[in-house]
Structure 1
Amino acid sequence: MPVEIQGDTRIWRRRDRAASARHFGATLAVAALVVFCAKIISDQTTWEFVGSAPLQGADLAMRMWPPRLSYLTELWGPVIDTIHIATLGTILGVMIASPLAFLAANNTTPSRALVRPVALALLVTSRSVNSIIWALMLVVIFGPGMLSGIIAIALRSVGFCGKLLYEAIEEIDAHTVEAVASTGASRLQVLTFGVIPQIAPAFAGISVYRWDINIREATVLGLVGAGGIGMALQGAIDTLAWSRVSVIFLVILGTVVLSEWVSAKARAAVI
């Protein structure tokens, strides 16, 4: 900690003069950037619409009330489709992410110079593209429906699961691996008996957690034609059937709450 001496008095300061000047300059630069961004946002905002937002919101809420509960019977199919999209997409994503995680981990990759960068690039690419973007592209390729939603969920899950899994692989106890290798075990046997048992709880926890996230993401993929309850929501909005929209919102909320409960119980059971 810098000390400044003034006469017989020592003054303890958090930073010296040079560090304080750099800190002040950095703070000023960030403040200027924030003001500049706020100015751009303000110029592109129609403040008349913002001012009338409370009235518009209240009017929309009145249109959505009361919910048409008789519409519930038509939503069971879309809800089940949404769960199928999330579940199958998670399974497919985990199946693709698992080998990539072993290729990306420092202690299991066959080549740190060639294979590991490629595996990391694939994981980063998967994480960088939102599931809605994946769904938009896949609907063009495969057409609207559940298949596009399943693959979109899978592609998005690969990067998430792969990153957490390869980090778990890198944190395993190396002594256990060395003990298995010292018995003369092959590389595959070392992975089977020395690595996989150590990462099994993390693998199960990551998979369940991603499934919980995918339930939420699957509810909106239908807005771009990728199946599930989102398609029913888009249809209700397009026809201005607001009493149906409120029912769909309640069903989505119930589905998300149920998936959260199931995932919490599953994680508690496997971890």
Structure 2
Amino acid sequence: MNHSSLNPQWHYRTPGQSLLRWLGWFWLVAFTVVCWQIMNENTIWAFVSDAPQQAADIGGRMFPPAWGYINNLWHPLWDTLNIATLGTLLGVLFAIPVAFMAATNTTPSVRFVRPLALLIIVSSRSINSLIWALLLVAIIGPGLLAGIVAIGLRSIGFVAKLLYEAIEEIDEKQVEAIRATGASGAQVIDYAVVPQILPAFWGISVFRWDINIRESTILGLVGAGGLGIQLNASLSTLAWNQVAMIFIVILGTVVISEWVSARVRQAVL
């Protein structure tokens, strides 16, 4: 008698699943090889081999940083903070109604309004703030306004996505209790929905502001104001010690904004 038929062995995967797994690995390796070949077509490896020496040369020119140049950075730094803060406020103002239209439990229409809101969220998140700034500089001209609007447009999708997910996770019992009192739709949102999402809203907004501090530092590279303008000017003149000073200011600004963001999120969450 065949004992294997009496004591069948257990396998983690079925033969079909194992075959699909190996096919997946095969196509992954094949895709990696194709990508490597495409990358090698336009790569000049002589430059790549020389990269460590070039990096060491530029790094040597950066030190010591031009500490006296910091006096030229205070105004661009202030512009950068304004771009990040005002852009975040602009994005949040537009994100709030979009989030309520996107959430399944607050949208006026799941069939028509919600897809439109989701399209706005995806459109905002799919375009980088630097690209938004490049387009806006061409439309409204260079300056802080282009940077503020670019940060705002980029922030809408981020804030609205996280906020509508928070709206969908609220306790519906509180909503039913307020609705049972005969409250209108606006009153239900005001007394049942908003109090539940308010901590998440503040946390999301401050987190986005922290991200926008980082992004606003480079918008000046395309003419949207801030520290990026000074960085672009120093790079154009190969003033590497000034570039090092700008990097130090950016690093300090990001560290402080991260600390503020963490403290605010701890306070509201």
Residue of 147, 158, 175 corresponding to 1:177: 175
Q: Secondary structure at the match of 2:224?
A: coil
In structure 2, runs of 5+ residues without a counterpart are none
Root-mean-square deviation (CA, aligned residues, Å) is 1.0
| Dislocated runs of 4+, deviation >6 Å | none
What is the distance in 1 between the residues matched to 2:17 and 2:127? Answer: 39
Counterpart among 3, 24, 31 of residue 33 in structure 1: 31
Separation in 2, partners of 1:119, 1:199: 19
Cα distance in 2, alignment partners of residues 177 and 18 from structure 1: 48
Letter in 2 for 1:59: D
Question: In the alignment, which of 162, 165, 179 is matched to residue 164 of structure 1?
Answer: 162
SS at match of 1:118: helix
Give 1:134's aligned residue: 132
Q: 1:247-269, CA deviations, whole angstroms, 9 ceiling, x for partnerless residues?
A: 00100000000100011111111
TM-score, normalising length from structure 2? 0.97
**Residues in 2 aligned to 1:167 and 1:122: alpha-carbon distance in whole angstroms:** 15
1:31-90, Cα deviation, whole Å (9 max, x unpaired): 111111111112221111100000000110111111110001111111111011000000
Q: Distance in 2 between matches of 1:17 and 1:236?
A: 62
* Shift in Å, 1:10: 3.3
TM-score under structure 1 length normalisation = 0.96
- What residue is the counterpart of 2:42 in the other structure? 44
1:11 to 5, 9, 12: 9
Match of 2:193 in 1: 195
Question: Could you tell me how far 1:9 is from its partner in structure 2?
Answer: 4.7
Partner residue of 2:74 out of 76, 85, 103: 76
- Write the mapping of 1:205-216 to structure 2, written as runs, cut at 5 A: 205-216=203-214
Letter in 2 for 1:210: R
Provide the secondary structure at the position in 2 that maps to 1:185.
coil
SS at match of 2:218: helix
* Partner SS, residue 43 of structure 2: coil
In 1, Cα distance between equivalents of 2:198 and 2:84: 22
Distance in 2 of aligned mates of 1:144 and 1:60: 30
Aligned residues: 267
Give the 3-state SS of the residue equivalent to 2:188 in structure 1: helix
2:268 matched residue in structure 1:
270
CA-to-aligned-CA distance 1:155-203 (integer Å, 9 cap, x gap)? 0000000000000000000010010011111111011001000000000
Name the residue aligned to 1:154.
152
- Counterpart of 1:104 in structure 2: which amino acid? A
Work out the CA distance in 2 between the residues paired with 1:44 and 1:14.
Answer: 44
Counterpart of 2:266 in structure 1: which amino acid? A
Q: Percent identity?
A: 56
Change (3 A) 1:12 1:95: same
